[in-house]
Amino acid sequence: MRAACFVLTSLIIGGLGACKPKNAGNAVSGNAAEKTYVAPGKYDEYYNFVSGGFSGQLSVYGLPSGRLLRVIPVFSLDPEKGWGFSEETKPMLNTSHGFTPWDDLHHVQLSKTKGDNDGRWVFVNGNNTPRLARIDLSTFRTAEILELPNSGGNHSSPFITENTEYVVAGTRFSVPMDDADGDVPINTYKKNFKGTLSFVSVNPQSGNMDIAFQIETPGVNFDLSRAGKGPSHGWFFFSCYNTEQANTLLEVNASKNDKDFVMAVNWKKAEEYVKAGKGKKVNTKYMHNVFDESTHTATSETKNNVIVLDAKELKDICYFIPCPKSPHGIDVDPTGQYMVGSGKLAALIPVFSFDKMIKAIEKKDFEGDFAGIPVIKYESALYGEVDKPGLGPLHTEFDGRGNAITTMFVSSEIVKWNIKDLKVIDRQPTFYSPGHLMIPGGDAIHPEGKYVVSYNKITKDRYLPTGPELSQSAQLFDISGDKMQLILDYPTIGEPHYAQAIKADKVTGKSVKIFKIEENKHPYVAKGESDTKVTREGNKVHVRMTTIRSHLTPDNIEGIRMGDEVYFHVTNLEQDWDVPHGFAIKGANNGELLVMPGETTTLKWVPDRVGIFPIYCTDFCSALHQEMSGYVRVSPAGSNVPLTFSTGTNLPAE
């Protein structure tokens, strides 16, 4: 078995999937362009929200065109929009480790109502420094970021319950709990390392998140997850690997067992235990960052404890189901009856039955336990297996017509199969090594089986060469007929992992076009040019500035001295859709600002020399955009140059 594992692992790492599939030359048919063409002035049918991987951002594409519509900054600095550079957004990147200007964004989940995407919010994960973020789809901006304590990594999130009651996250890397002594030998993994499952509640009106409770689990690596739906609502299903509890050379040591696990979690029962006081309060430290659109300002709050349930003590909340080795995910079909596993190192796809699982639990049809958690017999929960579907099954979604589509990483293909009879219906090559795929609504109760997008890890011959690394790849297939048809290649930012799409008309009606200037509650807002001023508070200088096509007010400022901290509070007076203004000053070492209509945003500037410094708008706004500029004079420390400001009056004598 170990030899076979070495061979398959070598194929995966060596890039067998990079070899051109058979019949690749005629994989795209003649009417593909017609199916993806969106005429000038017309709109795409879907928004497609795609993880940016190591960029730390979320990208938005239109489907079927594949056009990039927006990059939403989340966990990483973004100079285009001033994210993490403006004083208002800096708190969004606070963590218990301090200001953390990068993370690795892998997964995307749309909010749901009655099991279907509702277009309110998008939730995403920070994989490296464990965090969850919520993006408000009325503004397409990050509204909230919550750090997850007691976690070594957050790949296994965010996953949404049927009515967005919870966003759920599992530990990627088990570590000692935050309140334990973490100074332990690494090879004491089995004794000292623990996993956690975080159940984060979501306010149904505001969307604000809070950690309701965590479940402490044995030390394993949690991978992708799905909530139950319909009859299985109230349960969560996590894929687990490294049941060997290895701590070194995981490629080999975490691939020894023929089967790892799916963990089934009865979160309704867990809620009962929390209400009954069965949880323990664990001291820890984590940050909760919220952006207020009325003040256009973020705040960062330190939290100090969470409620933790011990799965080993409360034996009826967690159960293990054996799953072919190293599963990458578990997916629940639209009926809520079938759970599809995906063992990366297996040559079959197991399909589990929710009803059979419940009966096995009732009968205590267990084969023992793992670290105190009951293990259900494989055959007792199994509905059946898809035999020889391909090599390296990774991720499955559903077309709403009784079929599933699964990516095959090693054999570089997507495979369609029937859920009831477990027979393969169709397979199509990808280019190459697909990880996740996405069907609009593919994890919901009512999938829209029109398209599937494959997010591929290797591109090789698909795009023009760009040095050692090629563009990241997405491929759009039409799945409306019996056969899947490749109709579009398009590149993406970062390394795309997972994505979700939603009908555009569920979002566009809620879209904010401007921020009303009269509702702006920023403490340094200037609601008109008459409100602009420059004031000194010791060595801090506050500039209340406005922008409008096509000038800054004020545009001449004197009396700034070396040693001053200057805060440019810039209010965009425009009340017209799609007229942002930018702001920059020469020598600023922390980026620029991008200010939306009606918004106030702040740039902190500490001059490093005496002289004249130009200020200007960085976002083209009118025919006289180039003229939208001014000057700031910096004098030596101790200078008696008075603090003055003006626009249009500080002219030389005739």
Where in the sequence of the chain do the CATH 2.130.10.10 domains occur?
46-510
- pLDDT, residue 620, reads 95
- pLDDT, residue 591, reads 84
Summarize pLDDT for 84-116 with one digit per residue, the tens: 999 999 999 999 999 999 999 999 999 999 999
Q: Give me the chain's average pLDDT, please.
A: 94
Q: Exposed, middle or buried, 396 (CB in 10 Å: 0-12/13-18/19+)?
A: buried
Distance of CA 577 to the CA centre of its chain: 27
- pLDDT, residue 584, reads 97
Is there a cis peptide before residue 432, judged by omega within 30 degrees of 0? yes
The stretch 298-326 carries a mean pLDDT of 96
Cα dihedral across residues 116, 117, 122, 128: positive or negative: positive
- pLDDT, residue 34, reads 94
CA atoms within 13 A on the CB side of 422: 15
Reported as a pLDDT band with limits 50, 70 and 90, residue 436 is very high
Report the C-alpha gap between 498 and 442 in whole angstroms.
12
Where in the sequence of the chain do the CATH 2.60.40.420 domains occur?
521-646
Q: Looking at the predicted structure, is the pLDDT value of residue 543 above 60? A: yes
Reported as a pLDDT band with limits 50, 70 and 90, residue 654 is low
Reported as a pLDDT band with limits 50, 70 and 90, residue 18 is very low
Reported as a pLDDT band with limits 50, 70 and 90, residue 71 is very high
Report the C-alpha gap between 236 and 256 in whole angstroms.
26
Report the C-alpha gap between 476 and 132 in whole angstroms.
28
- pLDDT, residue 180, reads 94
Summarize pLDDT for 207-229 with one digit per residue, the tens: 999 999 999 999 999 999 999 99
Q: Which long-range contacts (CB under 8 A, 24 or more apart) does 611-616 make?
A: 613/585, 613/586, 613/587, 614/585, 614/586, 615/552, 615/555, 615/568, 615/583, 615/584, 615/585, 615/586, 616/552, 616/583, 616/584
Reported as a pLDDT band with limits 50, 70 and 90, residue 2 is very low
Reported as a pLDDT band with limits 50, 70 and 90, residue 3 is very low
Q: Looking at the predicted structure, is the pLDDT value of residue 572 above 60? A: yes
Residues 6+ apart with CB under 8 A from 44: 38, 62, 63, 64, 65, 67, 504
Residues 6+ apart with CB under 8 A from 56: 74, 75, 76, 102, 103, 104, 105, 126, 494
Report the C-alpha gap between 423 and 420 in whole angstroms.
8
Residues 6+ apart with CB under 8 A from 408: 389, 390, 391, 392, 393, 394, 414, 415, 434
Q: Looking at the predicted structure, is the pLDDT value of residue 16 above 60? A: no
Report the C-alpha gap between 220 and 196 in whole angstroms.
9
Helix (H) or strand (E) holding 32: helix 32-36
- pLDDT, residue 6, reads 38
- pLDDT, residue 352, reads 98
Contact between residue 553 and residue 566 where contact means Cβ atoms under 8 Å apart: no
Reported as a pLDDT band with limits 50, 70 and 90, residue 1 is very low
Instruction: Kindly tell me the number of DSSP H helices and DSSP E strands found in the chain.
Output: 7, 45
Q: List Cα–Cα distances, 355 to 231, 236, 360, 361, in angstroms.
A: 9, 14, 9, 10
CATH of segment(s) 521-646: 2.60.40.420
Contact between residue 435 and residue 30 where contact means Cβ atoms under 8 Å apart: no
- pLDDT, residue 29, reads 65
Paired tokens of 111: 């909010």
- pLDDT, residue 11, reads 44
Helix (H) or strand (E) holding 11: helix 2-14
- pLDDT, residue 5, reads 41
**For the chain, percent of residues with pLDDT exceeding 70:** 95
Q: Looking at the predicted structure, is the pLDDT value of residue 15 above 80? A: no
Summarize pLDDT for 253-276 with one digit per residue, the tens: 999 999 999 999 999 999 999 999
Report the C-alpha gap between 241 and 221 in whole angstroms.
5
Q: Looking at the predicted structure, is the pLDDT value of residue 610 above 70? A: yes
Paired tokens of 125: 């994960």
The stretch 621-645 carries a mean pLDDT of 97
The stretch 316-321 carries a mean pLDDT of 97
**For the chain, percent of residues with pLDDT exceeding 90:** 92
Tell me the DSSP string of 39-102. -TT---SEEEEEE-BTT--EEEEEETT--EEEEE-SSS-BTTTTBTTSTTTGGGGEETTEE---
Q: Which one, of 69, 7, 14, 73, lies nearest residue 44 by Cα?
A: 69
- pLDDT, residue 21, reads 52
> Regarding the domain with residue range 46-510, which homologous superfamily does it belong to in the CATH classification?
YVTN repeat-like/Quinoprotein amine dehydrogenase (2.130.10.10)
Q: List Cα–Cα distances, 293 to 57, 138, 142, 568, 591, in angstroms.
A: 20, 11, 11, 19, 22
Across 133-137, 211-215, 340-344, least confident range: 340-344
Q: Where are the alpha helices (DSSP H) in 240-399?
A: 250-253, 267-275, 354-362, 378-381
Residues 6+ apart with CB under 8 A from 188: none
Length of the chain: 654
Paired tokens of 559: 């009396």
Query: What ranges make up the beta strands (E) of 497-539?
Result: 499-503, 533-537
Residues 6+ apart with CB under 8 A from 277: none
